[in-house]
Amino acid sequence: MTTTLPDETTLLDDDTARLRAAAGFVREHDSAALLPLLLPGLGGPDLRALAGHCRFAHAGLLLFPPDADALRAQLADCGLAPDTPSHPSVVVRERLARRHRRDPAELDVRILRPQVHGCAGERRAVEVFALTVPPHSGLERIAAYERTRRHEAHLAFEIEHSDPLALRGLCAILVRHGARPDGGGYNPHEDGTVLYFTTPADPACGYRRLELYARGDHRAALAAHLDHPVSSARPPAETLLQLLTGAWTTQAFAVFARLGLPDAMDTRTAHSAEDLALLTGAHPRGLATLLRYLAMLGAVTPAPDQEEGFRLTELGALLRADAPGSMRPLALMYGGPFYRSFGELDHAVRTGGPAFDHLFGENHFDHFARDPELADLFDRSMAASSRMFQPLPEHPVVTAAAAAPGPRTVVDVAGGNGELLGRILTAHPRLRGILLERPHAVEAARRLLDAAGCGARCDYRAGDFADVPPGGDVYVLSRVLHDWDDDRCREILRHLAAAMPAHADLLIVERLLPADGSPSLATAWDLHMLCNVGGRERRADHYARLLADAGLQLVGHSPLPLDAHVLHARRASVPDPAARHS
């Protein structure tokens, strides 16, 4: 029995109709409206986080023209620019080759993005994948199958700021709401990384696939995406073997940073391993071996026209000493003292006591305080995650204080080197600040805030939690409570409650363990806190109980970058001003 395929004209008409429908869809929708259609139940902080970081960029579909002229005619028929430039589509070509067990070289897949404008004039596109199917080429069966299944039809959201950690956080939100990782890839022709997801069954908008697009080379995030348990097709033993090499990854990044390689390399120009060895004093063969491994991790990328040549990627550039928000101190800390303490994780799990104390004979705060270099590295490693603070100056509590008549004061308790307080004071010139910290950290904060131009509006107090200054308007407690057990947290919060006037607000920055067990950086940090300080990450309801025990009330919480949250608390029984005006 044979199957008769429709004639070529009918198929081209069908492709044109699908292209016209996709262009109309792109014109009519936006991010905030589309995301809940793709992920039923998405709302609140998660919707705001996704819609705030991602913009609806295009609808994608796969067409099957017999040649380039036919494709141009289809574009023109749909009111799209027929002369739109094209380039090879690496990701879709490889997906098709795997699905149909064909050699990728047989599949001429091009990608075009003819422009379309949204309702408010936003620049968007229809992403057209075009698999050329000449008559009698033997590819007609592939086209027939793909037209029916619509595997490549998707809606794409472009990440506004391609931060590797933010990218992973956005992926975690999607998975939490039912999206399933479904492949992806890095396209060197346009230097962009694509992560695909399948959405829950029968979404209201008719599309089953969602794409996150990030400019640049994000192959580390891509590797985590492809290795997600839902999408991994590798044998369990192979997956476990890769996971067991995680310690190698930590040390590879630490050595990369320690040698100063990111500072010696460039994101545009390739350098040979031999030249880099001369610059850093490393062994040429040993360095080449390290660079090949780092290329697999996405920190560098091989130069196609230069043997043993490598250039830096955007991910690797985060380890430059002079990069804004440099993560170099984190690499040195996680590959240094904390790496050594994780070697004693067995002790922490068996006894519940910190492995760091067991290894070094004292808690990590005292240990670092006795070593100025380590203390400075720790403070800089905390500041390296300062991108989580980016939205805080615009928190309603802070903006209300800045707009109020008369002077208002923000008190940063255990404020480290002043990074967060500096951001708030810089954004709001009418606010004053008080920073409470250990003596050596106070001096570091004074230097940073003076350099930021807001030191004249800040007072400094050297002391402990018992010394919380009274009379402030907004109190900030950032990444402190997770260092301690519940009893110590209650004690800290009681000191704050005693110092806070009746009208004052408290903002607490922490990572929250997800209530549903979904993937989160908080789960990893929970193990880190157990091992190194004896603390823990907590769920929001856990923090609410601790606050209540101290006479405080959790008003609400909202997401921050790097899987963090800001919890808003007030004195118990004091009404929230925002609620009175809602």
Q: Are residues 42 and 140 located together in one domain of the fold?
A: yes
- Residue 4 inside a domain? The answer is no
Query: Which residue type, as a one-letter code, is found at position 185?
Result: G
Read off the pLDDT of residues 372-425 as tens digits, 9 standing for 90 and up: 888 888 878 877 777 778 889 999 999 999 999 989 999 999 998 898 999 999
Q: Which tops the pLDDT comparison, 105 or 509? A: 509
Place of tokens 């919380």: 468
Question: Could you give the C-alpha distances from 516 to 41, 177, 246, 519, 520, in angstroms and in order?
Answer: 14, 11, 26, 9, 11
- Residue 405 inside a domain? The answer is yes
Q: Are residues 258 and 354 located together in one domain of the fold?
A: no
154-159 and 123-131 strand pairing: unpaired
User: For position 112, what pLDDT does the model report?
Assistant: 94
User: For position 235, what pLDDT does the model report?
Assistant: 65
Read off the pLDDT of residues 479-496 as tens digits, 9 standing for 90 and up: 999 999 999 999 999 999
Q: Are residues 182 and 264 located together in one domain of the fold?
A: no
Average pLDDT, the chain: 87
User: For position 201, what pLDDT does the model report?
Assistant: 63
User: For position 575, what pLDDT does the model report?
Assistant: 53
Of 328, 355, 375, the residue at which a domain comes to its end is 328
Instruction: Report the distance separating Cα 293 and Cα 275, nearest Å.
Output: 18
Kindly state the average pLDDT of the residues 45-52.
83
Which active-site residues does the annotation give?
482
Q: Are residues 278 and 305 located together in one domain of the fold?
A: yes
User: For position 495, what pLDDT does the model report?
Assistant: 97
DSSP state of 132: -
pLDDT of residue 161 exceeding 80: no
Which range scores top for mean pLDDT: 202-211, 222-231, 371-380? 371-380
Q: Are residues 292 and 424 located together in one domain of the fold?
A: no
pLDDT above 70 as % of the chain: 93
Of 281, 310, 328, the residue at which a domain comes to its end is 328
Read off the pLDDT of residues 238-273 as tens digits, 9 standing for 90 and up: 778 878 888 999 999 999 999 999 999 988 888 999
Angle at 545 between CA 543 and CA 546, to 5 degrees: 65
What range defines the domain where residue 436 resides?
Answer: 390-571
- Residue 236 inside a domain? The answer is no
- Residue 122 inside a domain? The answer is yes
Instruction: Please answer whether residues 192 and 142 qualify as being in contact, where contact means their C-beta atoms are separated by less than 8 angstroms.
Output: no
pLDDT band at 581; cut points 50, 70, 90: very low
pLDDT band at 40; cut points 50, 70, 90: confident
Instruction: Report the distance separating Cα 371 and Cα 328, nearest Å.
Output: 19
Instruction: Report the distance separating Cα 164 and Cα 252, nearest Å.
Output: 18
Q: Are residues 268 and 357 located together in one domain of the fold?
A: no
- Residue 232 inside a domain? The answer is no
User: For position 229, what pLDDT does the model report?
Assistant: 52
Q: Are residues 117 and 28 located together in one domain of the fold?
A: yes
Kindly state the average pLDDT of the residues 116-142.
89
Q: Are residues 377 and 449 located together in one domain of the fold?
A: no
CATH of the domain at 171: 3.10.180.10
- Residue 578 inside a domain? The answer is no
Q: Are residues 453 and 551 located together in one domain of the fold?
A: yes
CATH of the domain at 535: 3.40.50.150
Domain count, the chain: 4
User: For position 13, what pLDDT does the model report?
Assistant: 67
Kindly state the average pLDDT of the residues 329-344.
94
**Burial 262-297, CB ≥16 within 10 A → b, else e:** bbebebeebbbbeebbebeebeeeebbebbebbbeb
User: For position 203, what pLDDT does the model report?
Assistant: 62
Q: Indicate the pTM of the whole model.
A: 0.62
Beta sheet of 408-413, edge-to-edge order: 458-462, 431-437, 408-413, 474-478, 505-511, 564-571, 552-560
pLDDT of residue 568 exceeding 90: yes
DSSP state of 27: H
User: For position 241, what pLDDT does the model report?
Assistant: 83
Instruction: Report the distance separating Cα 56 and Cα 528, nearest Å.
Output: 36
Of 199, 227, 255, the residue at which a domain comes to its end is 227
Instruction: Report the distance separating Cα 185 and Cα 188, nearest Å.
Output: 10
Kindly state the average pLDDT of the residues 108-125.
90
User: For position 411, what pLDDT does the model report?
Assistant: 98
Instruction: Report the distance separating Cα 427 and Cα 511, nearest Å.
Output: 24
Q: Are residues 134 and 220 located together in one domain of the fold?
A: yes
CATH of the domain at 295: 1.10.10.10
pLDDT of residue 138 exceeding 90: no
- Residue 579 inside a domain? The answer is no
pLDDT band at 532; cut points 50, 70, 90: very high
Q: Are residues 408 and 523 located together in one domain of the fold?
A: yes
pLDDT band at 7; cut points 50, 70, 90: low
- Residue 7 inside a domain? The answer is no
Q: Are residues 540 and 453 located together in one domain of the fold?
A: yes
Which range scores top for mean pLDDT: 118-122, 148-152, 390-394? 390-394
